[in-house]
Amino acid sequence: MNIETTTILDARGLNCPLPILKTKKALNSLESGDTLQLISSDPGSVKDIDAFCKQTGNELLQNSAESGEFTFIIRKS
DSSP run (H or E) holding 49: helix 45-56
Amino acid at 36: L
What is the closest distance, in whole angstroms, from the C-beta atom of residue 31 to other proteins in the complex?
18
Using CB under 8 A, which of the segments 1-9, 10-18, 30-38, 63-71 binds other proteins? 10-18
Q: Does 68 bind other proteins (CB under 8 A)?
A: no
Pairwise CA distance, residues 20 & 42, whole Å: 11
Task: Provide the binding-site residues for other proteins, judged by CB under 8 A.
Answer: 13-18, 20-21, 23-24, 41-42, 52, 55-56
